Amino acid sequence: MAFIAAFIWCYILWLGLTAGSSGLLWSSEELIAGLLFSAVVAYTTKGIIGEKASRFLNPIKWLEFIVYSIGPLFLGMVKANFHVAWLVITGKIRPGIVRVPVDLENDAQYTILSNSITLTPGTLTIDACPEEKALYVHWIDIPEGLERPENSEPVSGSFEKWARRLGR
């Protein structure tokens, strides 16, 4: 199952990245090369994916991830871009590293939340500590009184809720 999930994922990625390089969508050589590369990558990574392979084949998870990417994540990035632009114009920043408590259960959830925070301008995840149930985040402008946030809401908005949902 892990091999099939990795193979399908890699082949779809290959097709997406090579589309339109000839008069047709793909030449026969591109399709064959994609099959070979996808098989090699799938064989190499089947042990990494392991028992969670069904998650990669679930189209509902793909749809949820797309909704998250074009919804909350994109809007959070746009909002943060304007905020960082304002900080650049005014020159008023209060940078620092904050410990952000989180309620996550597995590595996939920590990865999704950490990457979402890092993709958002003005924040950078420095460390994830599952044993402490916390992330350490460099924040370019720590609001007064939020030097020690009680939850992840001030730093990540709704990202933690989405990370829990997508990482199940």
Asked if residue 69 belongs to a domain, the reply is: no
Does this model's pTM top 0.85? My answer is no
DSSP code of residue 120: S
Asked if residue 156 belongs to a domain, the reply is: yes
The domain in which residue 103 lies consists of 79-166
Q: To 5 degrees, how large is the angle CA 79–CA 85–CA 86?
A: 90
24-66 residue pLDDT tens: 677 788 889 999 999 998 888 877 666 566 666 677 888 888 8
Residues 142, 122: Cα–Cα separation, whole Å: 10
**146 and 104 fall within a common domain:** yes
Asked if residue 73 belongs to a domain, the reply is: no
Asked if residue 64 belongs to a domain, the reply is: no
